[in-house]
């Protein structure tokens, strides 16, 4: 019998030299195209964060939405989108973060999180951890309590989880 972990592993495609030479891109589109594998990935994420008593999920644009939204429904918690600049219509906070070349920014509505709500930050992949760190800072700025990070895939050799310490970091697959 195929386990859930085997099923999800079989549906992640490694694409060499995308988006640029030297990067091995982990492509989740085969997983999205296979309902049983996609459901298994959400079950495994749910199990991985079961002890964190999460009340709110913050999902990072755009592939983070694909995991954050079904996980929020599975856990019965609220869902907050973190978006690229200029997309959110209401009063918001912005955090800038460093990229390999230059900076990027993320935004969140000021009233998105109930004060003190136990908040889990979700994205598809953790690489250097810069994106997730910026999202955790936004949670703090609007009055939520970050209690952990969850990713479908962790690229462990980039040591992104060090940047997120002391918050717990959970991942379904590790490369």
In this structure, the dihedral spanned by the alpha carbons of residues 91, 96, 99 and 102, taken in order and rounded to 10 degrees, is 100
Instruction: Name the segment binding ligand AMP (CB under 6 A); options: 40-48, 85-93, 122-130, 136-144.
Output: 122-130
Nearer to ligand AMP among residue 40 and residue 126 (C-beta): 126
Number of residues counted as binding ligand AMP (CB under 6 A) = 17
Enter the tokens of residue 57: 């999920």
Q: Is 119 in the site for ligand AMP (CB under 6 A)?
A: no
Instruction: Name the segment binding ligand AMP (CB under 6 A); options: 40-48, 75-83, 105-113, 119-127.
Output: 119-127
In angstroms, the CA 71 to CA 48 distance is 11
Q: Is 128 in the site for ligand AMP (CB under 6 A)?
A: yes
Q: CA 164 → CA 9, 72, 121, 130, 168, distances in Å?
A: 25, 21, 11, 9, 8
In angstroms, the CA 153 to CA 73 distance is 20
CB of 170 to ligand AMP, least distance (A): 15
Q: How is 25-49 classified by DSSP, letter by letter? A: EEE-HHHHT-HHHHHHHHHHHHHHT
Q: Is 63 in the site for ligand AMP (CB under 6 A)?
A: yes
- Give the helix/strand (H/E) hosting 76: none
Q: Is 83 in the site for ligand AMP (CB under 6 A)?
A: no
Among 125, 142, 150, 169, contact with ligand AMP (rule: CB under 6 A)? 125
Nearer to ligand AMP among residue 14 and residue 50 (C-beta): 14
């Amino acid at each position: 019998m195929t386990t859930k972990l085997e099923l999800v592993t079989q549906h992640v495609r490694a694409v060499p030299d995308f988006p640029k030479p030297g990067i091995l891109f982990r492509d989740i589109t085969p997983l999205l195209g296979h309902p049983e594998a996609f459901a298994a990935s959400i079950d495994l994420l749910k199990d991985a964060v079961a002890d964190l008593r999460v009340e709110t999920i913050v999902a990072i644009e755009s592939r983070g939405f694909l995991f954050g939204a079904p996980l929020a429904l599975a856990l019965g918690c609220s869902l907050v989108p973190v978006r690229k600049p200029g997309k959110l219509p209401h009063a918001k906070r912005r955090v800038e973060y460093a990229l390999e070349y230059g900076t990027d920014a993320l935004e969140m509505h000021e009233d998105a999180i109930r004060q003190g709500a136990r908040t889990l930050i979700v994205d598809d992949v953790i690489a250097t951890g810069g994106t997730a760190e910026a999202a955790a800072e936004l949670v703090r700025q609007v009055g939520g309590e970050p209690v952990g990070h969850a990713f479908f895939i962790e690229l462990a050799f980039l040591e992104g989880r060090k940047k997120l310490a002391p918050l717990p970091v959970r991942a379904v697959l590790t490369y």
